[in-house]
Each structure stands twice: as C-alpha cells, then as structure tokens.
Structure 1
Amino acid sequence: MLSHAIRFGIWALVHGNRAALQDPDEPYDASFARNRALILEAESLGYDSTLVAQHTINPHDERLDQLEAWTASAALAALTSRIEIITAIKPYLYHPVVLAKMALQIEEISGGRFAINLVNAWNRPELERAGIGFAEHDERYAYGEEWLSVVRRLLAGERVTHAGRHFNVQEYELRPTSRFRARPRIYVGGESAPARQLVADQGDVWFINGQPLDDVKSLIDDVSGRPRSGAPLRFGLSAFVVARETDAEAEEAHRHLLELAAKDAPLKAIQTANTDPKVVMMQTMAKSPRVGTNGGTAAGLVGSYDRVAERILAFHALGIETFMLQFQPFEREMRRFAAEVMPRVRARQATPRRKAGGHG
C-alpha cells in the first residue's frame, strides 16, 4: 500500500468538551473565540488539519451552545495560513448546488486548504424538528450518494445536468473553481456497508472511528479492495489521546476522565435515544468503556509518550495517514502532544524500523 506522510489534526470544539462536560479543568466553551484561538495555536504548533463537525443543535444537550460549522470555517479560512480546514456536511441540510458554491468560496478564501467531510447524520431531532424528516439509514446513504455525485462534479468545474430521484439540476456550472487544484478534497465518514461503498465510489479519504488495530486493518482491507476509479483511497483515523511520561500516569489520567464522563450518563442516555440504532459508530462506541467521541480512546493512544508514538506508527503501517485527535483539557494536552509525541513520531519515521508491533 502506498504510504503517505503522517498528518496530525485536531477536532474543533464545536460542542465543547470531547470527553466530559463537567470537568473543573476545562469549563464548557464552544464559542467561536475559543475555536479561533485553538486552531490558530494548533497551526503554530505544527498540526496539519482541523475537522469542524456540523450540528445545528448541540447533540449532547440542546441547552448548550453549538458552533455553526460553515460560517465558522469561512472565518477560519481567512484567519489561518497553512492548516487544512475540513468541514462536515449533512446532505439533507443543504442543496448540493448551494453547498458546492459555499465550498468553492471557502476554497478560494483559504488558498486551496479546504475540504468537505460527508456524514449522513445520526441525531434524529436535528432533522425531525426542522421538518426535514429523518429517513431510514440506507435511504439516507442513497440520498447522500446522489447528493455527492452532484457536488463532486460541481467542485471540479463541470457543467452539470443531473436528473435523479432526489435532484434535478440543469446546465449548472459554478465559477470560480479552485485555482489551486482540480477540486477540494472529499472526506467520507461512516462504516456501514452503504458508507463503505460510498467512500470507495466517490471519496478521497475515509475517516475511520477510533478502534483497535486489527479492526482498523479489516476495515482498510475491505474498502481498499473494492473497485474504484481515480487515485487510490487514503485513510484517516479519529482518536482521543492520553499521553504522559509513564504508562501508569497515563492510565491514571484516563481513569480520571472516565470518572468525569460518568457524570454525563443522563445526557448520554438522551443522546442514545435520539440516535439511529443502525449507526455503526454508536455500536462500536458501546463495546467498552472509553472517553471521547467517534471511538475516542478505543484506538489505544493511551500510555507513555513512546508507547503512543509507536501505536501511531503501527496504524500508519496499516495505511492511516491523517490522525484526527481529541484531548482534555484540550489546549494543554494538545501542547503536550506537540511537544512530546510529535517529535518521537518524526524521529522514528526517520529511522529504519523493523516490522511494526503486533495488532490489538
């Protein structure tokens, strides 16, 4: 498998804390001011990317603040100079022509650093209360596949005519297109059978939720073996990091976060009730205790700085290129990772290594 350089990204704090909402070391804050400062600092620390998740209402507690992804991303594109900005999109919320135009504008603002991340929604009230309706799981993916087929062509500057089940687009062409590349990159999330086929057909990068090495290997083997046109598919992984000088210190910090996360149990019960049970991400999350979203600590990036660096290299050996990371308290731990783990990863990459350690 073609190996690309390791890239490190951070999840924007669109709905505040990633591990536990009731943390005295990280008061809840999902403001644009915090996210602006966070992402500017991440860029200065050497992080390569940020993922701005899209929710119109807070998925954990509707009374809490929620950053709006697309307007915030446009502002971040103007404020930053190097970091890639990936913005999630739920197809039911935007017509493909409108979304493609917005994406191309942010591509222009950013100087060619913008990407979209297609996700097909899991939070039922977000769509139902708006009167949009929450279609059955596979139907959402059928809609998303058609939606993306229109967006993808518009992003590439094609003059699009499309007559499908959901959209009827006649002779539509958007200008300007990207002056920096053929089109913005397309990330796709989701691990169900329809999601895997969608990313194989139309995605550039597949975002996999945090989970053990063997599980990630199976997912990559399945999707990379599917017929595909164009460039080979690339892979990213979400993970929550707890790194310290020693394994014992990291495990203690992890236990502390688990205790804090347990206080959110009533909110998690509401979130579970609002979630489509067919969403594979939630099925994976329910397998064992963990902190963080999108798999969180299930990826195993908990331990000493050396252990976490080796684990990252083991995932990279499987084909993972982009690591989209979470921390708590976010800013402090983001700095720690940049100071302690990033240099270890780079140093090991520069040194010939034996076969990566066993999977687990």
Structure 2
Amino acid sequence: MSNKNNITFAYWVPNVSGGLVVSDIEQRTDWSYDYNVRLAQTAEKVGFDYALTQIRFTAGYNAENQHESVSFSHGILAKTERLKVIAAILPGPWKPALAAKQLATIDHLTNGRIAINVVSGWFRGEFDAIGEEWPEHDQRYARSEEFIRSLKGIWTQNNFSFDGKYYQFKDYTLSPKPVQKPHIEIFQGGSSRAARDMASRVSDWYFTNGNTPEELKKQIDDIREKAKANNHTVKIGVNAFIIARDTEEEAQAVLQEIIAKANVQAVKSFSDATREAGAATAEGEGNWAKSTFEDLVQYNDGFRTNLIGTPQQIAERIVELKKIGVDLVLSGFLHFIEEVEYFGQKVLPLVRELEAQQATAVQQEAELV
C-alpha cells in the first residue's frame, strides 16, 4: 500500500458498458468480468490502492449493460491480492441490515479489502423504474446518514438499537463483525451543502466532482472546518479523467476528439436530468450546476481537474491537489488497461519523487526554525 503520507489512487471500475465518456470515440475498454480482472491485476501491480464499482439499475447515457456492484466487487477481490474495492450501494434498494451482513462477510473472505460508497441518488427515473421511494434532495441525504449510522452501529456494537425516521433496530447483534477496525471504510459523494454536511458528521471519505484547484479548495476547507466542529475527520477524493501522453499536443488532441465525437443526445439528456436534480437542492444547484456541455461528456466533470498532458505535467498537478488537501485521485481513462499501466509506469513514480522532495523541503524548513 502507499505510504500513509502519500496521495493515493483509485480507478473507476468499468462494470457498466460505454466506458467513462459519453462519446462515440473508440474506447478499448470492456465491461466484462474477464477484462475487469485483468484491469484490477494491472492496477494493483502498478500502484493503485482502490477501485470503485458503479451502481446502475437501468440503461441510459451510453450504459446499456450494468453488472451489479457488490457481487462484481467481490468477483474482483477474489482475483486480486492487495487492491481494496469500494462497492457502490444505494439506500432504498439496499437496507442497512442486508448491506452490513453482506459486506462483513466479504470483508472476512478477502481479509479486510472491501469498502462501501453510499450513493444518495440523483436520477429519479431510475428509482421510479424499480418502484423505490424518492424522497426530496435533502431527505435523501438524511436517509443516507441514517444508513451510515446504522452500518457503524451494527459493525461496532452488540445489542445495537436505533430509532430513526427511515431505519429502526432493536438489540441487534451482528456476528461475526468485520475484520477491519473500527469498521469497513465508508465513502460518499456529492457537492451540495447537504452532502458536505453529512460527510462532516459520519463519512470516512468524501468524493467530489472534478474541478479547478481553487474551487476544490473552497469545498475542502468548508467540509474540514465543519468536520472539526463535529469532532470528526474526513478524507477527500477528487474525480479526474486522466489523459497522459508523451506530449501535451497528443493529450489535448485526444481530449478534443472525445468532445468532437460526443453523443450529443445522450449528453443533453444527462444535462437535463442533472439540472432537474440540482434544482431540488437547498441552494437550487447541484453537482453539475456550472458544468458546460464539454464537461458533461465525462459524467463527473473529470476533464475539469485537468490531469491531461505529459507525465511530468500531470504529476505536478497531482502534487498541487495534495497541497490543497486532496487525499485520493479517483481516475477514469479512455483505454483502461493500457492507460492504467502507462500511468503506473510514467506518472506515479514522478508523483512519488515530487512528494519526497516536498517532504524533504518541509523537514529542512522545520530544522531551520
């Protein structure tokens, strides 16, 4: 695993079809299990610490086929040795008792290598299609917070009781409890006030959409200030679509080709759905409020993080992200296996070198004081 002071890396698991961009550009990426096993083995070999599976119940936005996240995560874990896989779970379709038992079992089977990403949900059409309740925006986060509090209680206490609006438990004891202590790592996403507030109270990790360092720092400072007031700590992961090439011109040409070949109808449909979801927030805007058409070609604003260029340029930008408080880069790629390998061989060593230089400089400054 990475040094505890190093920035860590995760990749999006392509367990749904269509890749990570809404574009008709060629993507040498496959959503099959065999491909994902090879990808996971490559990723852990070159230095990735985490992989994040996606949760989808219905087709849409180029994702015509979708493997279920928890079972797929377990399948990847069975074929790897070090990688930790983060399984995406939606409160509503999943109940905390089932999720707690399911994940605790996988934790034992994999010696502590499963994590959970609690997804509060933004796409109402998917919930309507499967007959699930759709609370309004802030209530979805309230439900997710109860979900997380329930998981933590089940995983750490005997005779756990909880009396919430959405979930209730009475003297429930899970046995065996997870291998990981104090409990399985809990991730969540979102950029709204409700998402940040929830993370500042209960989550171990907070994923945010891609953005500029200046805008990311505002979010990070806000969430950490709130977490401190709650006597809580939370780590930060940022989404980034990485295009690393030998020259900057090559990398930019790939970006322009992705955008030029965008599936316009799918991007516009995605944009309409995100605007509707954003309008339901207390602020009247959501994750994608300031996203352009070009930004939305990559679902989670991955282009905006600007990890596009030569290995040296990308490594320097990653270290700048670390300086503003980013702990993890959640990475997407066009051609996953070959580009994960390239990243591990060309970019990651430069990141570690720059981190070591930075640590030495800090130590030398301290010695001079």
What's the TM-score, normalizing by structure 1?
0.91
Which blocks of at least 5 consecutive residues in structure 1 are unaligned? Answer: 356-360
SS of structure 2 residue aligned to 1:320: coil
Judge conservation of contact 2:267–2:296 (CA < 8 Å) in 1: no
Confirm or deny that 1:299 pairs with 2:330: no
* Paired residues of 1:162 and 1:170 also in contact (CA < 8 A): yes
Q: Which amino acid aligns with 1:23?
A: I
Deviation of the 1:53 alpha carbon = 1.6
Q: Deviations over 1:139-170 (max 9, x none)?
A: 21121122221112112244311122122211
**Closer, same or farther in 2 for the Cα pair 1:274/1:68, shift >3 Å?**
same
Residues in 2 aligned to 1:273 and 1:209: alpha-carbon distance in whole angstroms: 18
Of the three residues 291, 304, 312, the one matched with 2:318 is 312
1:12, 1:53 within 8 Å by CA — same for their partners in 2? yes
Contact in 2 for aligned 1:10/1:324 (Cα 8 Å):
yes
Aligned pair in 2 of structure 1 residues 82, 231: CA closer, same or farther (>3 Å)? farther
CA–CA distance in structure 2, aligned partners of residues 24 and 18 of structure 1: 12
Superposed displacement of residue 288, structure 1 = 5.4
**Residues 290 and 298 of structure 1 are in contact (CA less than 8 Å); yes or no, is this contact kept in structure 2?**
no
SS in structure 2 opposite 1:155?
helix
Alignment of 1:130-149 (within 5 A): 130-149=130-149
Secondary structure of 1:282's counterpart equals coil
Determine the structure 2 residue equivalent to 1:32. 33
Q: Which range is displaced more, 128-137 or 271-280?
A: 271-280
Partner of 2:329: 323
Structure 1 position 52, deviation (Å): 0.7
Matched position secondary structure for 1:86: strand
Alignment-derived partner of residue 249 in structure 2: 248
Q: Give the aligned partner of residue 351 of structure 1.
A: 357
Instruction: Tell me, in whole angstroms, the C-alpha distance in 1 between the residues paired with 2:317 and 2:46.
Output: 21
Q: Distance in 2 between matches of 1:335 and 1:122?
A: 33
2:209 and 2:72 map into 1 onto residues whose CA distance is 24
Give the structure 2 partner of residue 266 of structure 1: 265
Q: Tell me whether 1:285 sits opposite 2:291 in the alignment.
A: yes
Query: What's 1:232 paired with?
Result: 233
Moved more, 216-225 or 133-142: 133-142
My pick for the range that moved more, 36-45 or 216-225, is 36-45
| Alpha-carbon contact 2:15-2:72 (below 8 Å) kept | no
1:15 and 2:21 are equivalent in the alignment = no
Contact 2:237 2:328 survives alignment (8 Å): yes
Question: What displacement does 1:133 show?
Answer: 2.9
Q: Distance in 1 between matches of 2:200 and 2:184?
A: 17
Runs (4 or more) in structure 1 with deviation over 6 Å come to none
Residues 156 and 177 of structure 2 are in contact (CA less than 8 Å); yes or no, is this contact kept in structure 1? yes
Shift, 1:229, TM fit: 5.0
1:102 Cα deviation after fit: 1.0
**Secondary structure of the residue that 2:253 maps to in structure 1?**
helix
After TM superposition, the structure 1 stretch with the greater mean CA deviation from structure 2, 173-182 or 337-346, is 173-182
1:335 aligns with 2:341: yes
Give the structure 2 partner of residue 105 of structure 1. Answer: 105
Deviation at 1:192, TM superposition (A): 0.6
Q: Distance in 2 between matches of 1:269 and 1:256?
A: 18
State the AA in 2 paired with 1:22: D
Q: Given residue 271 of structure 2, which amino acid in structure 1 is its aligned partner?
A: T
Match runs of 1:22-61 below 5 Å: 22-26=24-28, 29-61=30-62
Residue 288 of structure 2: SS of its match in structure 1?
A: helix
* Runs (5+) with no aligned partner, structure 2: 279-284, 363-369
| Residues 123 and 273 in structure 2, CA contact (< 8 A), matched pair in contact too | yes
Contact 1:54 1:68 in 2 (8 A): yes
> 152-161 vs 142-151, which deviates more?
152-161
Task: Give the counterpart letter for 2:318 in structure 1.
Answer: I
- Given that residues 23 and 297 in structure 2 are in contact (C-alpha distance below 8 angstroms), is that contact kept between their aligned partners in structure 1? no
CA distances 1:311-331 after superposition (whole Å, capped 9, x unpaired): 000000111111110110222
Mapped contact 1:77–1:109 kept (Cα < 8 A):
no
Contact 2:241–2:331 (Cα < 8 Å) also in 1: yes
Q: How many residues align?
A: 349
When the two chains are superposed, the root-mean-square deviation of aligned CA atoms in Å is 2.1
Q: Deviations over 1:195-245 (max 9, x none)?
A: 111000001111111100001100011010014556522111110011122
Amino acid at match of 1:4: N
* Structure 1 residue matching 2:350: 3-state secondary structure: helix
Give the Å deviation of 1:180. Answer: 3.9
What is the identity, as a one-letter code, of the residue corresponding to 1:7?
A: T
Q: Is the 8 A contact 1:241 1:301 kept in 2?
A: yes
Q: CA deviation at 1:277?
A: 2.7
- Structure 2 CA distance, aligned partners of 1:61 and 1:306? 33
What TM-score do you get using the length of structure 2 for normalisation?
A: 0.88
Amino acid at match of 1:73: S
Q: Shift of the alpha carbon at 1:290?
A: 6.0
Question: What is the distance in 1 between the residues matched to 2:358 and 2:162?
Answer: 51
Q: How far apart in 2 are the matches of 1:190 and 1:306? A: 30
Aligned equivalents of 2:194, 2:264: Cα separation in 1: 31
